[in-house]
Amino acid sequence: MLLTSACKYGIQATIYLGMQKDDSFVSIKKIAEEFTIPFHFLTKVLQLLTQAGIVESTKGAKGGVRLGKDPDAITLFDIIAVIDGEGIFHDCMLGLPGCGLNTPCPAHEFWAPIRTKYEKSARAISLKDLASDTIRKNLRIGK
Amino acid sequence: MLLTSACKYGIQATIYLGMQKDDSFVSIKKIAEEFTIPFHFLTKVLQLLTQAGIVESTKGAKGGVRLGKDPDAITLFDIIAVIDGEGIFHDCMLGLPGCGLNTPCPAHEFWAPIRTKYEKSARAISLKDLASDTIRKNLRIGK
DNA sequence: TGTAATTAAGACAAAATTGTCCGTTATTTG
DNA sequence: CAAATAACGGACAATTTTGTCTTAATTACA
């Protein structure tokens, strides 16, 4: 599995937040219902993103979450890195510590270019890209 | 995580089998020690590969495992598909069923090319490639 | 000021993955 | 044939991930 469920949920939620017209807060419950994500689980995922500054939150009535930065300044890489860690972008396919150009594993030549392409693409695509695409082409994010 | 531990172990073991000079059986215990893999766990992984015909086994003294086909005829794709399934090569990044050209998710354009490159490369690289590289360049597979 | 709404935080449960152990079956060798 | 070896198969334990529940803290609003 490429991404954990937690990370998939986080990406869905942040794209949804990126699609909002104004900067008012959206309740986590709303997002959870929208995409059929377990509410309390999503809460924890969004807390991670909040701690990282990608998301902002307020408690109480009319509270909820919204993006903590310009959607243009948040990349897919950022979100994945916060929730799943940067491992997928850097680690050896076989899990060998120290695998690299100097002391590669047998799969290094195979995996390194793909990993690099993945990282570059993930760093190049922003939440704004994803959200505006979703609106423009009327894509579904979940369900 | 891209590959499960089970799959990493399976790849290490099969590369090792591909490196053997003759077609005699290697005991699973030997392989487990070589790469510090939990013995009984490796046993189960190799059983999967045996059931799939990628590996052959015999019980008893002088028993063990060896490749079940020409190393040239076994690809990295085959091994991953047997142990982790083909999902990683085909599935939507966000896990949406039915995501594809017709009804893409917002990440489809991002992920599909990477996924395809991954699959093509994995289908193009054989155990013979991996094993001969390992021998020629004296690479480490584990530890 | 009090009530409803909503995130935060922690404990706990369920499920999946990983790892361990033991008895059975099959094979070689003395 | 007996003993040693080694894969097979099932049960079980540990760990991680995923999901649920409850209480506390904070905010808006009547």
Give 3-state DSSP helix, strand, coil % of chain A, rounded to 5. 55, 10, 40
CA distances in angstroms from A25 to A66, A101, B110, listed in the order given: 5, 47, 28
Of B3, B114, B139, Cβ closest to residue A104: B139
Task: Please tell me if residue B116 touches chain A, with a CB cutoff of 8 Å.
Answer: no
Chain segment A32-86, per-residue pLDDT in tens: 999 999 999 999 999 999 999 999 999 999 999 999 999 999 999 999 999 999 9
Q: Which residues of chain B have pLDDT under 70?
A: none
**Residue A97: what pLDDT?**
94
**Residue B129: what pLDDT?**
98
**Residue B101: what pLDDT?**
95
pTM equals 0.96
- Closest-CA residue of chain B to A86: B1
CB contact under 8 Å between B118 and A114, yes or no, is: yes
What number is the average pLDDT over the span A1-16? 97
Domains in chain B: ranges and CATH: 5-136 (1.10.10.10)
Chain segment A113-135, per-residue pLDDT in tens: 999 999 999 999 999 999 999 99
Nearest of B111, B107, B100 to residue A130 by alpha carbon: B107
Task: Please tell me if residue A105 touches chain B, with a CB cutoff of 8 Å.
Answer: yes
Band (A143; pLDDT cuts 50, 70, 90): confident
What number is the average pLDDT over the span A5-27? 98
Chain segment A74-108, per-residue pLDDT in tens: 999 999 999 999 999 999 999 999 999 999 999 99
Task: Please tell me if residue B103 touches chain A, with a CB cutoff of 8 Å.
Answer: yes
Q: How far is the CA of A47 from the C1' of C8 (A)?
A: 8
From chain B, the residues in CB contact with A103 under 8 A are: 140
- The enclosing H or E element of B36 equals none
What number is the average pLDDT over the span A9-22? 98
**Residue A142: what pLDDT?**
85
Contact predicate B124/B75, CB 8 Å: yes
B70 Cβ partners below 8 Å, 6+ apart?
B128
